[in-house]
Amino acid sequence: MNEKKRIIFHLDMDHFYTAIEERERPDLKGKPVIVGADPKEGKGRGVVHTCNYEARKLGIRSAMPISRAWNLCPLAVYLPPNFDLYMEVSSRIMEILRKYGDKFEQWGIDEAFIDVSGKAKDYLEAEAIACQIKKEIFEKEKLTCSIGIGPNKLVAKIASDHQKPDGLTVIRENEADDFLAPLGVRKLLWVGRKTEQKLASMGIKTIGDLAHFDPAVLTEKFGVMGTQLYLMAHGIDKSEVAERGQVKSISRDVTFEEDVSNPEVVFNALDKLSEDVTADAQRQKLYFKTVTIKIRYENFETHTHGKTLPFITNRFQDLKKATRELAQGYMKQDRKIRLVSVRVSNFTSGQMQRTLL
């Protein structure tokens, strides 16, 4: 079998939200900057969305409670998010990137894959294209990014994260095994905390450990996913770079000022989140099919629960009904709720919607 070799890029913007804030306000340069919930002098209850590299040196990270960030660095600059601005910048960057690839796939607000197999005959040419992309993004947006180049999406994605910020990492097919071996299994797409723990209990910590493990045992323990894990550990990924909806999901969350036991308060909060999410979906002309809620109790125990609707929609009433139904089982008399979120995914664009009807 003579499969054509592919060359894939993964691009990820550096500390995206804070980089945009720094660009808008040059006085922030050099200071630790955090975009997230209001810290309220350490009493704030939301989370850090992201922070710049100066703040990361102090131990601050995305998704950390904002109160913890305040304890680590009360003198950092704390800014509320400006999502509209971030979305605008994101779509301009995606437009730049799209023209460099034969195929383009947006993966998140600040990241995307492109397949350049038809444009670059070898890795040297690919590297030159990557430099060109970095230059164009910097000239037009005054922002830096990191690019990973590899024989498939999996390797490219791990490579883009390898030398952040402003990195460019090229991993050829025959280098993939050595590159991956020392890295932790969490670097692999789809390996979350639970899989990581299960693998650790089997003595598997690094991707190299996984690559040397008996694939039959992996399949026995993890089913189809076991085979997938084994292939990934060897840097094998045949998935195509495939255009789809601009965004994969839209979500909103709220951390209550005080933990809540009254179900009506929780339902009202869910309604408000559903309203914001549908407004966002309508603005982007996206229709969704899957709805997921997250409920975090006061002790941080967190549950995610979702369902796929039998129809596509972006109507507030549909989302409101779905989220209320999903949340029903989590309202318990003796359990106070700290945070709720609403997420929609499985999108169809407006254009496809029209052809479907």
**Which positions are annotated as active-site residues?**
111
Could you tell me which stretch among 13-21, 177-185, 220-228, 338-346 binds ligand TTP (CB under 6 A)? Answer: 13-21
- Should residue 110 be labelled a site residue for ligand TTP when binding is judged by CB under 6 A? yes
* Range 295-301, long-range pairs (CB < 8 A, 24+ positions): 295/327, 295/330, 295/337, 295/339, 295/340, 296/337, 296/338, 296/339, 296/340, 297/335, 297/336, 297/337, 297/338, 298/259, 298/335, 298/336, 298/337, 298/338, 300/338
- Written as six digits, the tokens of 235 are 């840097």
- Pairing, β 77-79 against β 33-36: parallel
- Pairing, β 249-260 against β 48-51: unpaired
Q: Is the peptide bond before 74 cis (omega within 30 degrees of 0)?
A: no
229 membership: H or E segment, kind and range? helix 224-233
Q: Of residues 7, 11, 13, 129, which one binds ligand TTP by CB under 6 A?
A: 13
- Is residue 303 helix, strand or coil? strand
x-or-dash string of contact with ligand TTP, 38-77, rule CB under 6 A: -----------xx-----------xx--------------
- Should residue 12 be labelled a site residue for Mg ion when binding is judged by CB under 5 A? yes
x-or-dash string of contact with ligand TTP, 159-188, rule CB under 6 A: -----xx-----------------------
Q: Of residues 8, 9, 12, 278, which one binds ligand TTP by CB under 6 A?
A: 12
- Should residue 342 be labelled a site residue for ligand TTP when binding is judged by CB under 6 A? no
The size of the interface with ligand TTP (CB under 6 A), counted in residues, is: 15
Would you mind telling me the total number of residues written for the chain in this entry? Answer: 357
Q: Which is nearer to ligand TTP, 12 or 54 (CB)?
A: 12
> Which residues here bind ligand TTP, judged by CB under 6 A?
12-17, 49-50, 62-63, 109-111, 164-165
> Which residues here bind Mg ion, judged by CB under 5 A?
12-13, 16, 110
